[in-house]
Amino acid sequence: MKGNPIRDLTQFVTEYHDSFEFKFIDPKNLKPSELRVFGMTDEILKLIGGRPKHVKEIKISETMRKKLGSFVEDDGLWEPQYQRIVVKRSTLSSIDRYAGTLLHEVSHALSGADDVTRDFELKLTDVTGVVASEALKN
């Protein structure tokens, strides 16, 4: 009414995401066990035909944003504006956890869709099928 912009939920979410600062970890500073798991990145991505061209980097962060409406931090995040996947350091505790998170975020990158959408679910199903097929070949 006074000419001020209306701050809707979309704007709030954008500001929330923009205000968060990751605490990135240089792979040289990982524990040997974490480095072994992170070192499997290319092998994991080979299971789906390699790294998608538009995924320029995969970074590790000590901290992650909390899910909106929750106190739980995400394990991973696809940031299309930076063409990068960010994974939480704790996912490097096991190959299962890291591979699952990485492939989940790659599915976002490939589908361009958010969680809990039909497009994302279909892409995740495709990726899971390709991984299973590759695993069964060996």
91 falls within a domain:
yes
Q: Is 15 domain-assigned?
A: no
pLDDT above 90 coverage of the chain, percent: 76
Give the structural domain span for 81. 22-137
Interval 107-133 mean pLDDT: 95
Within-domain flag for 106 = yes
23 or 14: which leads in pLDDT:
23
pLDDT single digits (tens) 108-117: 999 999 988 9
pLDDT tens readout for residues 31-54: 999 999 999 999 999 999 999 999
Answer for the pair 60, 87: CB distance below 8 angstroms, yes or no: yes
The mean per-residue pLDDT over the stretch 23-27 comes to 97
| 12 found inside a domain | no
Give Cβ neighbours of residue 61 (< 8 Å, ≥ 6 apart): 22, 23, 24, 25, 86, 87, 88, 89
Asked if residue 4 belongs to a domain, the reply is: no
Q: What is the pLDDT of residue 62?
A: 97
pTM score: 0.85
The total domain count for the chain is: 1
- The pLDDT tens digits of the residues spanning 55-107 come to 999 999 999 988 767 788 999 999 999 999 999 999 999 999 999 999 999 99
d(CA 21, CA 17): 9
Place of tokens 């590759």: 134
pLDDT of residue 72: 86
Domain presence at residue 31: yes
What pLDDT score was predicted for residue 71? 80
| Residue 5: how many other CB atoms lie within 10 Å | 6
Beta-bridge mates of residue 16? none
Is residue 8 assigned to a domain? no
Dist. CA 20–CA 6, nearest whole Å: 22
| Cα 49 to Cα 17: distance, rounded to the nearest angstrom | 31
pLDDT at 134 exceeding the cut of 80: yes
φ/ψ of 88, rounded to 5, equals -75, 140
Can you give the CATH number for the domain in which 65 is found?
A: 3.30.2010.10
Residue 3 maps to a domain: no
